[in-house]
Structure 1
Amino acid sequence: MHQSFSFGRILGVKVGANWSVIVILWLIAWSLADERFPVVAPGYSTTSYWISGVLAAVTFFMCLLAHELAHSVVARRYDVHLEGIVLWLFGGVSKFTGDPPSAQAELKIAAAGPATSMGIAVGFFALTRLVDGVGGSALAGAALGWLGWFNGSLAVFNLVPAFPLDGGRVLRAWLWGRHGDKRRATASAANAGRLFAYVLIGLGLLQFLIGGFVGGLWFVFLGWFLLSAAQAEASQSMLDDQLHGVTVRSAMTPNPVVVPATVTVGQLIDGWMFDHRCSTFPLVDREGAVTGLVTIARVKSVPADRRATTPAMEIAAPPVELVTCQVDEPLWPVITRLSGSADQRALVYDGDTLAGIVSPSDVTRVLELTQLGNPATIQAPPGP
């Protein structure tokens, strides 16, 4: 899920949102202000209903964020890093850069989200009773009650044993612990996810037939999303299994050609690109520290008449946007980090020394070689 705008970091985790959040926020606020609140709490002004609706909608997305952050807090205890959270139309998507080390860890990480949502639901229901008990605002009670109901529904829905929902991960953890076979457990949980997705799509089509267009469309979209996500999770798990035992050293292109950070784009082309069979060039300062990364694609973006005067650093990806790793790290977690990085490249270090680069073509090569034999025997290609 692509991020449209960022909220910065919360508890060390990058948090962003897709543009679809604006749509769903408006729909929730509208449905509460125009339909629900006037029925359960009559007698208030239209402005009051809309203010309450907007506040409830925003609070609900904060609850969604708490649900996702709960996964992160527990995951850190098992050295599983959460790279980022993106809120979107159907809730939140957390991007982990590795898998839990054991079935028990998977179970605890997966259960943290629904447990948090259920705890929030109980808290809102308690506040609702308190407001009602002291004769407080009926509108405030209605908003609190709705938040309690929606968080409870979120917890229950996420516990459905269908991948990639939290309940599907709980199912995978249970099967993994029982049979000791993570790949088999993932396949079973993904199959359950596909089945549940088809059920939702079927319910949506049924609603179409009986005239429930909006509800039917919602079920179909949700089913389609879960189906796509289940298939993607299953594919990623197979790749993880395929690359088991493969380190970054086996995939990287070693001894990258480095270029002084002071050169222009024209000098880079004439002095390095035509002389070396490389598509990626780290820029380094006088001490040898990497200050940026330039690819052929970035060079091509500079008009020909400006290449002689444009500093290479001006078009380089800065270090903060680059993925870095050590030569003996497992390859799969690094691959999962590449998708959201600048140019999808990783700088590989041996201690403090730049030792290589991992590019998409390097990953493709390793994946093809793992189909031919023992992945542990794969050797890195010769350097440029």
Structure 2
Amino acid sequence: MNGTIRVGNLFGIPFYIHPSWFLVLGLVTWSYSSGLAAQFPQLSAGLALLLGLMTALMLFASVVAHELGHSFVAIRQGIDVKSITLFIFGGLASLEKESKTPSEAFWVAIAGPLVSFLLCGIVTVIGVTTTASGPLAAILGVLASVNLALALFNLIPGLPLDGGNILKAIVWKVTGNPYKGVTFASRVGQIFGWVAIISGVLPLVFFGNAGNFWNLLVGFFLLQNAGNSAQFARVQEKLTGLTAEDAVTHDSPIVSGNLSLREFADERVISGQNWHRFLVTDDDGQLVGAIAVDNLRNVPTALWSETQVKEVMRPITESTTVQSDQPLLEVIQLLEEQKLSVLPVIRKNGVLVGILEKAAIIQLLQSRTQPNPA
């Protein structure tokens, strides 16, 4: 999530806060401090504000605990958790990849609501066994009710909520197709999004009541994210089974390291090819480096005929290449994570296959989504 602020680690998981969270923190603090001040007039304004802030922070700690529930189950399945982020609509645990089976996906999804139910129970027991009264009882009541609401709301069976992920796992189990699970749960999420929007619009239109304005925001959030999930699932389904080699650009910019710079300039640069960077191979076809057209400027023109490409090229590290049999979906994720647009594709023996471009992936996807002519 762009614009987030890293505030540390939670059990080794990077923890971020989006600036929008501070707005919600302020609103929740003001709301609960005002409520406590009205309910307990003996409280000073400063103490009521402090108790409101403490309540708000404990509520957000509950949200973090909810996300840690997802994270710990994912980690037990061998899935890395890239981050936990607090933002205006709650929290988000970002996982490196999906679970391998529908049952594993089910347990990752339900872990968060189970933690919230557990916290609700613990807080309720504390309130009953300690016979708490006054502001403490009110705060415990708020914590218990909010955790219960958090669990129940997240169990709504539509993406991107936990209930949607539970539904996705169930449909995946029944159909054997994870993408059908995502698509179905996304559609349900969009339905709930429209319901939330309508429940916010109708009171505003007919009664001038903006009390359900939050429903509008939640509705748009559900609608947008559910739609994105469905679209991403369709893309994944189309690209499943494809490898990096399937998306290699035809006529990739490859030159032999034994070429002279004069030959390189005549055959590849002056000839009108639009490439600005070329991959360099040795006699066995293995990738040994790369040369850019701008590198020619570093060598006097008079020396081009006696200078070979391999003398001017720059080495390429193994970390900037992908294997030809690597799943294309993994390659796409690598391109996104490292902010790359091009990657060299090599075989296990180091022989260069060609380059893979983002544009080529898009073209491949378009070709697989076009209907076959009758």
Normalising by the smaller structure, the TM-score range is: 0.7 to 0.9
State the Cα distance separating 1:353 from its structure 2 match. 6.8
CA contact (8 A) 1:97 1:337 kept: no
**Structure 2 counterpart of 1:118:** 117
Q: How does 1:236-315 map to 2 (within 5 A)?
A: 236-251=232-247, 278=275
CA contact (8 A) 2:79 2:95 kept: yes
- Post-superposition Cα deviations, 1:328-366, rounded to whole Å, max 9, x if no partner, equal 332224424544543566676767979676543243233
**Structure 1 counterpart of 2:194:** 198
Q: How does 1:1-384 map to 2 (within 5 A)?
A: 1-34=1-34, 36-133=35-132, 138-208=134-204, 209-213=206-210, 215-251=211-247, 278=275, 326-336=323-333, 338-343=335-340, 358-371=356-369
- Post-superposition Cα deviations, 1:160-181, rounded to whole Å, max 9, x if no partner, equal 1112211011112112212323
CA contact (8 A) 1:97 1:333 kept: no
State the Cα distance separating 1:279 from its structure 2 match. 6.5
Amino acid at match of 2:116: S
CA contact (8 A) 1:97 1:336 kept: no
Give the distance between the partners of 1:280 and 1:37, measured in 2 at CA.
66
> How high is the TM-score relative to the length of structure 1?
0.72
Amino acid at match of 2:27: L
Note closer, same or farther for the CA distance 1:113–1:3 as it changes in structure 2 (3 Å cut): farther
Instruction: Report the 3-state secondary structure (helix = DSSP H, G, I; strand = E; otherwise coil) of the residue aligned with 1:132.
Output: coil
Instruction: Report the 3-state secondary structure (helix = DSSP H, G, I; strand = E; otherwise coil) of the residue aligned with 2:138.
Output: helix
CA contact (8 A) 1:25 1:57 kept: yes
**Structure 2 counterpart of 1:382:** none
State the Cα distance separating 1:86 from its structure 2 match. 2.4
Give the distance between the partners of 1:90 and 1:280, measured in 2 at CA.
45
In our comparison, the structure showing a higher alpha carbon Rg is 2
Structure 2: runs of 5 or more not aligned: 256-264, 280-286, 295-316
CA contact (8 A) 1:98 1:336 kept: no
State the Cα distance separating 1:277 from its structure 2 match. 5.1
Give the distance between the partners of 1:190 and 1:199, measured in 2 at CA.
14
CA contact (8 A) 2:21 2:86 kept: yes
**Structure 2 counterpart of 1:305:** none
Note closer, same or farther for the CA distance 1:337–1:40 as it changes in structure 2 (3 Å cut): farther
Amino acid at match of 2:208: G
State the Cα distance separating 1:75 from its structure 2 match. 1.8
Amino acid at match of 2:93: S
Give the distance between the partners of 1:114 and 1:278, measured in 2 at CA.
53
CA contact (8 A) 2:158 2:164 kept: yes
Note closer, same or farther for the CA distance 1:225–1:30 as it changes in structure 2 (3 Å cut): same
Structure 1: runs of 5 or more not aligned: 259-269, 283-287, 297-318, 375-384
CA contact (8 A) 2:322 2:345 kept: yes
Note closer, same or farther for the CA distance 1:104–1:27 as it changes in structure 2 (3 Å cut): same
Between 119-128 and 330-339, the greater mean CA deviation after superposition: 330-339
Give the distance between the partners of 1:202 and 1:250, measured in 2 at CA.
46
CA contact (8 A) 1:347 1:354 kept: no
State the Cα distance separating 1:26 from its structure 2 match. 0.3
Structure having greater relative contact order (Cα 8 Å, sep ≥ 6): 1
Give the distance between the partners of 2:52 and 2:278, measured in 1 at CA.
53
- Post-superposition Cα deviations, 1:6-41, rounded to whole Å, max 9, x if no partner, equal 12333343321221101000000000011x212444
Amino acid at match of 1:161: P
The count of residues paired between Structure 1 and Structure 2 equals 323
Give the distance between the partners of 2:320 and 2:45, measured in 1 at CA.
51
Instruction: Report the 3-state secondary structure (helix = DSSP H, G, I; strand = E; otherwise coil) of the residue aligned with 1:8.
Output: strand
Instruction: Report the 3-state secondary structure (helix = DSSP H, G, I; strand = E; otherwise coil) of the residue aligned with 1:342.
Output: coil
CA contact (8 A) 2:183 2:229 kept: no
Give the distance between the partners of 2:228 and 2:241, measured in 1 at CA.
22
Give the distance between the partners of 2:138 and 2:320, measured in 1 at CA.
47
Note closer, same or farther for the CA distance 1:365–1:146 as it changes in structure 2 (3 Å cut): same
* Percent of aligned positions that are identical: 28
Give the distance between the partners of 2:111 and 2:351, measured in 1 at CA.
39
Give the distance between the partners of 2:61 and 2:67, measured in 1 at CA.
10
CA contact (8 A) 1:71 1:112 kept: yes
Amino acid at match of 2:82: E
